[in-house]
Amino acid sequence: MTVEPGVRTGAESDASVIARSRDEPEAFAVLFDRYADAVHRYLARRLGGEPADDLMAETFTTAFQQRHRYDPSRATGDGARPWLFGIATNLVGRHRRAEARRFKAMARIPAPADHEEPLADRAAARVGAQAVRQELAGALAVLPARHRDVLLLVAWGGLGYEEVAQALGVPIGTVRSRLHRARSKLREALGGSDPTILREAPGHD
Amino acid sequence: MTDELELLRNWDADTAPLTEPARAKARHRLLNTMAHAERHPDTSPSRRHALRLATAAVVAVAVTGTAVLMTKDGADEGDRPDRAGRLSGTAAPRMGNVGAATVLNGAAARAGKQEKPVAPRDDQFIYSKRVITETERRTGAVRTYKDVNWDSVDGSKRSLTMELGRMIWEEPLKKGEGVWPPREWSKLKKLPTDPEKLIPGIIGVGTSSKPMSDFTADDWFDAYFMLGELLKWPVLPQGLRPAAYEALALVPGVKAILGVKDSAGRTGVGIAYPKSPFGQGKYLIFDPESYEFLGFRDERTSASGDKTYIQLSHVVDWAIVDRLKQRP
């Protein structure tokens, strides 16, 4: 995508773009360019690159078809981000098992080597980080889906509590309690109150 | 201190970034969905209204680099007979070997010879009369409309336009609102009449200084769309119309379609941009020998979404007048 620096000054708000797209469908492409990368990144972290390619596209076509239902008065701010991430999260819902399988696999096997780094670095410094990744993946794999959704919307979607509530259509209190539980599970998996102190890497189960 | 949430945030979960082919494919899917979307049923369909909005959209599209839309796989699908059939709607035209460039350059030469110098004042109106023949795709029922329009030259006054026989008052442009092509004669006069300068001059609404060698597929679609809209305007400063035809010939992906009919039933050559979902079913029609411009082909869907119409239109008369409803 090419954006001329400075041209998008006073860029139109998401709410305005969506409202305009009701009469003028092509306007919706603006949202794609604003959020395609963010939505893709969120989906790719949950499901991997290939399913993310497909679900990112589906997120935007679904959003486009539901644009008449977008209610800016219920949105926090005027950003479409929570709305789009809510749609993406619903789509992830159809792939729960695949997601859990992916995290389980990541908990067991070492992460792929980064070939751009010198061998010595990979061998030594990464061991700790890799262990953390395995712990995190293992914990994510066994979280209840609704807890995982909240946790990952916050951590990977970059949404605030209110935005998560809006994205999932649940009360903010529910968001807080689900997040609290999910974080507790993660902390446990990471070995206590200070996750920077790592346990030994777990054996294969 | 690092907490579990931060560790999670910093973990990319072995994610590769979105690749350009995947982005193009996803955008293509979205644009295809859009191209088949109904307009909002509460909105009365208005060509003029749509033009103004669409123009605003193009501006947004152009400046954010949004436009379109093609995958490498789809680059040549314009040549497939089934796609050509869908493009035509009625007949079964062929994507031809007659080069689009030959037709467009011929049209440019003809327009250059025939144009006369004009210079409307900003306080005047451009009167135009457009004949539209509309054929319902399913039943073949044909209706003909004669729409007359009085457009304020600089957009500062109310304009009176017609949409398939229905009169519509258009309020003056508000501050910050714009249309493409620009209404002010002074702005039109500033557009380059060298086709190679015109193209970089109109994408990004004139804010881009990108050379054509750096154009992306999106930039080329912008150029195609903006040139088409420019050519629809009945009155242009001397040299601009031939330049726009020649510029259109420089756009990769523009194709000639043989055996299309104009609104008077004459057989012509269509100039289309089959790569884009927005361009489907739309083209400029020229006489295959003299390269005279015969009109436009377009499609519209009824507000309920259950009827499709093929529209053939051309401007039969135009003039510069001082007052609304004044005829030449």
Q: What pLDDT is stored for residue B219 in this prediction?
A: 74
Give the model's pLDDT for residue A87.
95
Which of A180-189, B199-208, B293-302 holds the top average pLDDT? A180-189
Of the pLDDT bands very low, low, confident and very high (cuts 50, 70, 90), residue B74 is very low
Q: What percent of chain B has pLDDT over 90?
A: 23
Residue extents of the structural domains in chain B: 19-321
Q: Which residues of A118-137 are buried (b: 16+ CB within 10 A; e: fewer)?
A: eeeeeeeebeeeebbbbbbb
Q: Which of B143, B184, B140, B183 is nearest to B48 (CA)?
A: B183
* CB–CB contact B27 A22 (8 Å): no
Domain region containing A60:
14-189
State the average pLDDT over residues B274-303.
Answer: 80
Is A60 within 8 Å of B26 (Cβ atoms)?
Answer: yes
Cα–Cα distance between B212 and B227 in angstroms, integer?
Answer: 15
As averages over each run of 10 residues, the pLDDT of chain A (205 residues) reads 34 84 81 93 92 93 86 72 94 89 80 47 52 85 93 94 92 94 89 47 39
User: Is residue B6 over pLDDT 50?
Assistant: yes
Instruction: Give chain A positions within 8 Å (CB) of B204.
Output: 4, 7
- B200: helix, coil or strand? helix
Q: What are φ and ψ of residue B285, in 5° steps?
A: -115, 135
Give the whole-angstrom CA distance, residue B19 versus residue B38. Answer: 31
| Contact flag A20-B40 (C-beta cutoff 8 Å) | no
State chain B's mean pLDDT as an integer: 75
In whole angstroms, what is the distance from residue B325 CA to residue B25 CA?
Answer: 49
For every residue of B204-262, DSSP letters joined together read GGGT----GGG--HHHHHHHHHHHHHHHHSS---TTHHHHHHHHHHTSTT-EEEEEEE-
End-to-end CA distance of chain B: 80
Instruction: Summarize pLDDT for B128-145 with one digit per residue, the tens.
Output: 998 999 999 889 999 999
The predicted pLDDT at position A132 comes to 79
Facing residue for A30 by CB, picked from B29, B40, B66: B66
Cα distances (angstroms) measured from residue B130 to each of B138, B316, B320: 25, 6, 15
Taking Cα atoms as reference points, which of B8, B279, B328, B324 lies closest to residue B161? Answer: B324
B53 to chain A: which residues are within 8 Å by CB? 20, 23-24
Query: B290 to chain A, minimum CA–CA distance in Å?
Result: 36
Least confident of A40-49, B21-30, B208-217, B317-326: B208-217
Overall domain count for chain A? 1
ipTM of the complex: 0.79
Give me the phi and psi of B316, to 5 degrees please.
-95, -20
Q: Mind listing the pLDDT tens digit for each residue in B311-324?
A: 898 888 999 999 99
Is there a contact between B207 and A25 if contact means CB atoms under 8 Å apart? no
Query: What does the CA dihedral B160, B162, B167, B172 come to, rounded to 10 degrees?
Result: -30
In this structure, the number of other CB atoms found within 10 A of the CB of residue A184 comes to 12
Nearest alpha-carbon partner for A92 in A203, A4, A168, A172: A168
| DSSP annotation of A204 | P
